[in-house]
Structures are given as structure tokens and as C-alpha cells.
């Protein structure tokens, strides 16, 4: 390494607080657990390594380093490009003793490496601090974490940092709601300047917005609901990059009962029917806070852009008013009025069956719509809010599959 390079590295380490993202800095407050949930390449490992460096400098007592496997602790947390050794300048770097799985600093601070594959190895040792990496992937997450808590008992304020891409495991969800936990989040995009451009062109471009992408890139906890009509896996299986030429297109509107602040959103979803009878969801432009004239203009704009055949509008809320509002905006738009005679769940069941049969595809990704679909059970959404996007999608698919046939519009003229 050239002398100039070494000097630049020394400057970088001394100015970490200047270069670091806010989510990489140790949060203030009286916390026991700092839970840093982030996407791939967001800088979680570097944040954990720098926190360990900070703790070792103060030397309150032994530090535990726990990874998914012994290999992960060594190759990622300690020797990795963002690991503990790389986080130190040459003059302050601790000594790594692989045979003892131990790091030693010049000031007497020590850190011991443990594998989550062996929870019992944490029975006996005691610590003042701990860094747990990729906890959501640990095979014995609950047992390993429990053993660590019994040993985290030295110093004035024992603390632990957990850096992980989230998964909806019980332990992660429990930690998020624990009042002694500080949660920070990081997206892969937040650290883009440190990542290869090709990574964004290929990996991010392919997975962004999907269930896997939201978990692995955006650091979101993606929940599953046992009684939901749709699952994340099933939606991923029905996804295509784009729809083929469509013989018929409809834009469905689920209008809100009110335009007051806090009112339901106006569901606005477009779907089309291909020559082979497969249906494709092609747009979701649901929006909240619109006046009747506002959502009518928005729906008509989408109808024009897609050269759709008709607007499908639920008229339970407003009846003739819905037709009138659309007519005032543009009286040439064909409107198919639909009225709900069944509850939302019963209306959605036949559409869910079409998805199971492979007759409905998603042309692209629709995160908000898919969240509602996978969170919709017998008692509605878990949030208690109206499933506006889902309702609009159900009306669109129903019109294409079970509704009356209409002459398709000639497009491209």
C-alpha cells in the first residue's frame, strides 16, 4: 500500500462520523438493543464493525460477536471488507487470533466469536456488549439470542447491536416492538455511491418493488397472513415483465364515500384481457385526498392513456352521482356501473380462484396493491382500513371475466 493511500485511509477512519450515513451512527438514548434493519449493501456490516470499535475503545468489558456460522463471523464480521479489522486504521487494529476465535486490542479490550449454530457455546461467558449479524437468518435464533441475554451482564450499561436484513420471524417482530429497542432502517439505494453501477442495472432493476426486493433491498419486514386470499409467493409466480397485446382494457374505480381528510382513498386499477383469455393487471393509480372531480379526472386520464374500453365504477356509494361526476369531466367516456350485492371477501373469492388457476397476471410490480391482497382476510385488512386498491382490482378482473361482453375499442388510431 502506498503511503498516500494509507494516509487517506487514516483520514477516513478519523472522520467516520462525517462520512457515515445517519443510520450507521450509534443512536442516542437509553436503549438496550439497537436493531439496524437494512437491504443488501446498505452498510449494515460497516455500522456494526464501527460500533464494536467504539465500544472496544471504551473497554467496558468483553464483547460477543455472533454470526450465522463460524465462517460468517470470521469472513464477514471480522476479516471482511467492511468488518472489524478493516474498520480500524493500521495503528489501532486489534490482533485476530483464529485458534482462540478472539480479537485483542492494545488497551486490553477483547471480543470473542460465536456461531449461532451452537447456542450452548454462549452458556457461561459474560459480556458487556454484543454484535449480532444477520440474526433473521440464524437457524437457532431464539435459543442463541436467549443464551446471549443471560450473558450480557457486565459493565454499567450492557448493550447489543443487531444488523440484519429482516425476515418476519417472531424474534425480529418482538424486538421491533420492545420499548428498550431503537430501530433504524436502511435501503440499498441509500448507499448507492458505494455500490457497483452494474448491481443497480441488474439486481436492483430486476427485483425492485417485488416481495423479495422489498425485503432484501429495502429492508422491509414483509408479513404473511394465514387467512389471506393471496400469498406473496403466489403473486411472485404470476408476475410478468409486461403484458402482451390486449384485446380489451378496463379501468376500475372504487370511489370513496367522502373527500374529507382521512377518508378512504379512491381505488383506481386497470386490467386487460389478452387474446388467449389471460387477464393482466397493468396499472394502479389509487390516490387519497381527491375530490369527486379530482378522482374522475384521474380515472379519465388513465382511460385515455391506456386507450381503455370503459370505466368500471362501483355505484353503491353515490349511485347516479358517480356517473354524473364522470360525465361532467367527459361525457364521451363509456361507464359500466357495478353494484356490490355481496361482502368484499365474497366478491374477492372468485377472483382469487382465477389467480390460482393462472388466469390473472401482474404486468410489473404493484407493492401497495399486493400488500392489501396479502393482508386481506375474513375480517378485512389488519389495519382496519378499506382495501380500496383491492376492491378496484376485483371490479376490473370481474368485469373482464364474469361481466357482460362489450365491443372492444379500436386502439392506435
> Tens of pLDDT along 204-242?
777 777 767 777 777 777 777 778 899 888 998 999 989
Residue 92 φ then ψ, to 5°: -120, 5
| Measured distance CA(63)–CA(112) in Å, rounded | 6
| Measured distance CA(310)–CA(287) in Å, rounded | 20
- Report pLDDT for 173: 84
Domains of the chain: 3-194 (3.40.50.300), 232-401 (3.30.420.240)
71-127 pLDDT, tens digit each: 999 999 999 999 999 999 888 999 999 999 999 999 999 999 999 999 999 999 999
| Measured distance CA(79)–CA(85) in Å, rounded | 6
User: What kind and span of H or E run contains 363?
Assistant: strand 360-363
| Measured distance CA(383)–CA(11) in Å, rounded | 49
Other CB atoms within 10 A of residue 58 CB: 12
Residue 18 has pLDDT above 80, yes or no: no
Residue 199 has pLDDT above 90, yes or no: no
pLDDT band at 259 (very low <50, low <70, confident <90, very high): low
What burial letters (b/e) apply to 359-396, b meaning 16+ CB within 10 Å?
A: bbbbbbbbbebbbbbbbbeeebbeeeebbbbbbbbbbb
> Which stretch of 253-257, 370-374, 408-412 has the lowest confidence by average pLDDT?
408-412
Whole-prediction pTM: 0.60
Collapse the DSSP code of 340 into the 3-class scheme (helix H, G, I; strand E, B; otherwise coil) and give the result.
Answer: coil
27-79 pLDDT, tens digit each: 888 899 999 998 887 789 999 999 999 999 999 999 999 999 999 999 999 99
Closest listed residue to residue 348, CA positions, set 310, 382, 397, 311: 397
- Report pLDDT for 270: 98
Residue 413 has pLDDT above 50, yes or no: no
Amino acid at each position: 500500500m502506498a503511503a498516500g493511500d494509507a494516509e487517506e485511509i487514516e483520514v477516513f477512519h478519523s472522520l467516520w462520523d462525517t462520512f457515515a450515513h445517519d443510520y450507521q451512527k450509534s443512536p442516542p438514548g437509553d436503549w438496550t438493543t439497537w436493531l439496524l434493519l437494512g437491504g443488501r449493501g446498505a452498510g449494515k456490516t460497516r455500522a456494526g464493525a464501527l460500533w464494536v470499535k467504539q465500544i472496544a475503545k471504551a473497554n467496558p468489558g468483553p464483547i460477543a460477536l455472533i454470526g450465522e456460522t463460524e465462517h460468517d463471523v470470521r469472513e464477514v464480521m471480522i476479516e471482511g471488507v467492511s468488518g472489524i479489522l478493516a474498520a480500524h486504521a493500521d495503528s489501532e487494529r486489534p490482533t485476530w487470533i483464529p485458534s482462540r476465535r478472539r480479537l485483542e486490542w492494545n488497551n486490553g479490550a477483547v471480543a470473542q466469536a460465536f456461531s449461532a449454530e451452537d447456542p450452548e457455546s454462549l452458556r457461561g461467558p459474560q459480556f458487556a456488549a454484543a454484535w449480532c449479524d444477520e440474526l433473521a437468518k440464524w437457524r437457532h435464533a431464539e435459543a442463541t439470542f436467549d443464551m446471549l441475554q443471560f450473558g450480557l451482564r457486565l459493565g454499567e450499561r450492557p448493550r447489543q447491536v443487531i444488523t440484519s436484513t429482516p425476515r418476519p420471524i417472531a424474534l425480529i417482530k418482538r424486538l421491533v416492538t420492545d420499548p428498550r429497542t431503537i430501530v433504524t432502517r436502511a435501503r440499498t439505494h441509500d448507499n448507492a455511491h458505494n455500490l457497483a453501477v452494474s448491481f443497480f442495472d441488474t439486481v436492483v432493476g430486476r427485483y425492485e418493488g417485488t416481495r423479495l426486493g422489498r425485503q432484501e433491498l429495502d429492508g422491509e419486514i414483509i408479513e404473511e397472513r394465514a387467512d389471506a386470499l393471496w400469498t406473496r409467493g403466489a403473486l411472485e409466480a404470476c408476475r410478468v415483465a409486461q403484458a402482451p397485446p390486449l384485446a380489451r382494457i378496463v379501468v376500475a374505480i372504487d370511489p370513496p364515500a367522502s373527500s374529507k381528510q382521512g377518508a378512504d382513498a379512491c381505488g383506481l386499477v386497470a386490467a386487460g384481457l389478452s387474446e388467449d383469455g389471460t387477464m393482466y393487471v397493468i396499472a394502479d393509480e389509487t390516490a387519497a385526498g381527491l375530490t369527486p372531480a379530482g378522482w374522475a379526472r384521474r380515472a379519465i386520464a388513465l382511460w385515455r392513456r391506456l386507450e381503455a374500453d370503459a370505466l368500471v365504477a362501483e355505484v353503491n356509494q353515490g349511485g347516479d352521482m358517480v356517473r354524473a361526476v364522470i360525465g361532467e369531466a367527459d361525457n364521451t367516456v363509456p361507464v359500466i356501473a357495478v353494484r356490490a350485492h355481496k361482502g368484499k371477501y365474497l366478491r374477492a373469492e372468485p377472483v382469487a380462484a382465477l389467480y390460482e388457476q393462472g388466469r390473472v397476471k401482474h404486468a410489473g410490480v404493484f407493492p401497495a396493491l399486493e400488500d392489501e391482497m396479502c393482508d386481506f382476510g375474513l375480517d378485512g385488512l389488519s389495519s382496519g382500513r378499506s382495501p380500496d386498491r383491492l376492491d378496484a382490482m376485483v371490479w376490473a378482473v370481474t368485469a373482464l371475466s364474469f361481466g357482460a361482453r362489450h365491443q372492444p375499442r379500436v386502439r392506435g388510431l
